[in-house]
Structure 1
Amino acid sequence: MSANASAPQGIPAAPPPSSKELVLKVIPLPADTNGNGDIFGGWVMAQVDLAGSVLPARVIRGRMATVAVKEFIFKHPVRVGDILSFFSSVTRIGRTSVTVDVEVFAERFGTQGQFVKVTEALLTYVAIDDQGKPKEIQK
């Protein structure tokens, strides 16, 4: 389906990014909903944190911790049964930290492969030693 096609309820379809790596796919369940019946934002945030850690894990190759969420934008609600695809890219590698950009796309049930961008975030992970203190990334 083309990127110009309309998604349900007038939400514009968006093709998944070719410049980012697919790092996670999940399907939210009814237990993950908020009082409005949409998927709880905190659940989405937890999934983004997991997805965001994949690429830094390859760079850090050891213990790490999330130290910053510089941006988190919810563009559209996530619904029960959506197939969520999480795409990530490294935006910066510092002395002790790695920053990644994560974009989340929902494949809406019954839309035959149509994707809608629902969330995007910028997160930073820091390499830590056994005592939880920042340590230099070995390059």
Structure 2
Amino acid sequence: MEETCELPDGKLILRTLAMPADTNANGDIFGGWIMSQMDIAGGILSKEVSGTRTVTIAVESMKFIRPVKVGDVVSCYGTVERIGNTSITLQLEVWVEPVLRHEDSKCPYFKVTEAAFTYVAIDHQGNKTPIVKRGC
């Protein structure tokens, strides 16, 4: 049976390299580092959509699917799931291209995690502010 390659959902927001300093005790890339890359990517997209400062208020349904190894190219993709009066919920995915290792798969990349991140728009005093810019 022919293998089909899945494609990332959304816009490419962030691309980086998994480095040795980002490993956990097992030698894999630390889940907290992956989550921080997702939060950076989500912060970028939420600011683009809202046109203002945003802060993270929630992360839901985070699940890790496969480990990330040193040398993997890590890419964060995002889509706008919901825009409220002051908040934005994004669906974020992390995909990996295993540049320095060989996978049995014919696909050049694979999804390693996904989660819903929610951000709130704030003004210069740190108070919630309505979202007026609706660009995506």
TM superposition score category, shorter chain reference: 0.7 to 0.9
State the TM-score, normalizing by the size of structure 1.
Answer: 0.84
| Greater CA drift, 52-61 or 84-93 | 52-61
Q: Map 1:21-32; keep pairs closer than 5 Å.
A: 21-32=11-22
| Aligned partners of 1:71 and 1:123 also within 8 Å | no
Cα distance per residue 1:82-130 (max 9 Å; x no partner): 1111110000000001110011111112458611110101000100112
Q: Is 1:121 aligned to residue 112 of structure 2?
A: no
Query: Pairwise CA RMSD of aligned residues?
Result: 1.8
State the TM-score, normalizing by the size of structure 2.
Answer: 0.86
Q: How much identity, in percent, do the aligned residues show?
A: 46
Q: Is 1:91 aligned to residue 81 of structure 2?
A: yes
Gaps of 5+ in 1: 6-13
Please point out which of 36, 60, 72 is paired with 2:26: 36
State the secondary structure of the residue aligned to 1:54. Answer: helix
Shift in Å, 1:132? 1.3
- Displaced runs of 4+ in structure 1, greater than 6 A? none
Cα distance per residue 1:14-38 (max 9 Å; x no partner): 4332x41111111110000001000
Please point out which of 16, 23, 27 is paired with 2:7: 16
| Aligned partners of 1:84 and 1:106 also within 8 Å | yes
Name the counterpart of 1:67.
57
